[in-house]
Amino acid sequence: MKLYTYKRTGQSSPEVGVLRDGKLVPVAAFGLKYATMNELIRGASPEELKALASGAFDASAAVALESVKLLAPIPEPAQDVLCLGLNYMAHANEARSFNAALASKEGWPVYFSKRVNWAPGDGDGIPAHEDVTGQLDYEVELAVIIGRDAKNVTMEDAKDYVFGYTVLNDVTARDLQNRHVQWYFGKSLDGFTPMGPCIVTADEFAFPPALHISCAVNGEVRQDANTNMLIHSIAKIISQFSQGVTLKAGTIIATGTPKGVGMGMATPTFLKKGDVVTCEIEGIGKLTNTIV
Ligand code: MG
């Protein structure tokens, strides 16, 4: 099923809903009191999730998807987003051509994180931060949402901890990323982690998901790959990072970006105000944001 966070016209608080028969149905219409996606992920029982996916509901509560303002499915992550660097081979190569220091140690994933005070949703702007950066770049990524606390998980069991997936744009200020050695600052500016349009629950895809992933800037396709090209698999990431670290329910893992980012172009080309970035993953949807 597809789960959304959104605001209805004139409504001050967001609500969480599920897409049923092409319309959005608030979880309240199923008798559930989850006010946010994080509450739903942490609290919903298998029976409640089954009811959302296929149970009866009051049809008068359904609203048209087009009539609401979509927010990021998790607009305020409870913790920093956990990210993979250099997790598609062709992207690792293009990154090295821009900055030789951007290299991973053979066989070992590069983990980093980004602060997300507020994640833009589909249709929201991405602040250009022109006073801070002159090298604004995009990175389309498959984001994995953890469904229950994960600790010391085996690779075989890893799939049981995945709640679902969304599209994430790991927006990056390349000059800050390179200047400060640690990537945290250059990845953490306000509005640098658009997500959406929804969370698709894990049961909708085979594991690991093999989905077409792409990013276009002003309609020009820049990134075009498949999530089956990850160097380090989702199972490996969940298993490895949960050894000694509890991945709390609601944790967001950005699995890395494929080849085709602005820094990797023959003449490195960065985003500017007015550019429209569309990230898309098969089966999840499109995440479109304008640089403002
Ligand atoms: Mg990234």
Q: Are residues 88 and 166 in the same domain?
A: yes
Tell me the average pLDDT across 74-87.
97
Q: Are residues 17 and 126 in the same domain?
A: no
Residue % of the chain over a pLDDT of 90: 91
**Backbone angles phi and psi of 138, in degrees to 5:** -110, 160
Total domains present in the chain: 2
Q: Are residues 15 and 89 in the same domain?
A: no
- Beta-strand relationship, 252-254 and 81-85: parallel
Tell me the CA–centroid distance for residue 167 and ligand 1, in Å.
Answer: 12
Tell me the average pLDDT across 177-195.
96
Whether residue 77 is predicted with pLDDT greater than 80 in this model: the reply is yes
With a CB cutoff of 8 Å and minimum separation 6, the contacts of 52 are: 1, 3, 18, 27, 30, 32, 44
Tell me the CA–centroid distance for residue 79 and ligand 1, in Å.
Answer: 17
| pLDDT on residue 99 | 87
Which tens digit of pLDDT belongs to each residue from 278-288? 999 999 999 99
Tell me the CA–centroid distance for residue 227 and ligand 1, in Å.
Answer: 14
> What's the sign of the alpha-carbon dihedral 15, 19, 23, 29?
negative
- Beta-strand relationship, 220-226 and 195-201: unpaired
Q: Encoding tokens for residue 245?
A: 């670290």
Confidence band, pLDDT 50/70/90 cuts, at residue 219? very high
Tell me the average pLDDT across 55-64.
94
| pLDDT on residue 107 | 83
Q: Encoding tokens for residue 284?
A: 């999840």
The answer to the question of residue 194 being in a domain is: yes
Tell me the CA–centroid distance for residue 8 and ligand 1, in Å.
Answer: 32
Q: Are residues 151 and 282 in the same domain?
A: yes
pTM: 0.97
Confidence band, pLDDT 50/70/90 cuts, at residue 270? very high
Q: Choose between 93 and 194: higher pLDDT.
A: 194
Q: Are residues 100 and 51 in the same domain?
A: no
Q: Encoding tokens for residue 241?
A: 């990072």
Confidence band, pLDDT 50/70/90 cuts, at residue 102? confident
**Backbone angles phi and psi of 185, in degrees to 5:** -60, -50
Whether residue 103 is predicted with pLDDT greater than 80 in this model: the reply is no
Domain boundary among the residues 24, 44, 71 is at 71
| pLDDT on residue 154 | 98
Q: Encoding tokens for residue 8?
A: 């209805």
| pLDDT on residue 181 | 87
Tell me the average pLDDT across 100-120.
90
Tell me the CA–centroid distance for residue 222 and ligand 1, in Å.
Answer: 15
Whether residue 23 contacts residue 40, with contact meaning beta carbons closer than 8 Å, is answered with no
d(CA 126, CA 190): 8
**What range does the domain containing 39 cover?**
2-71
Q: Are residues 58 and 177 in the same domain?
A: no
| pLDDT on residue 96 | 87
Q: Are residues 224 and 257 in the same domain?
A: yes
Confidence band, pLDDT 50/70/90 cuts, at residue 100? confident
Tell me the CA–centroid distance for residue 9 and ligand 1, in Å.
Answer: 33
Which tens digit of pLDDT belongs to each residue from 135-159? 999 999 999 999 999 999 999 999 9
| pLDDT on residue 158 | 98
The answer to the question of residue 281 being in a domain is: yes
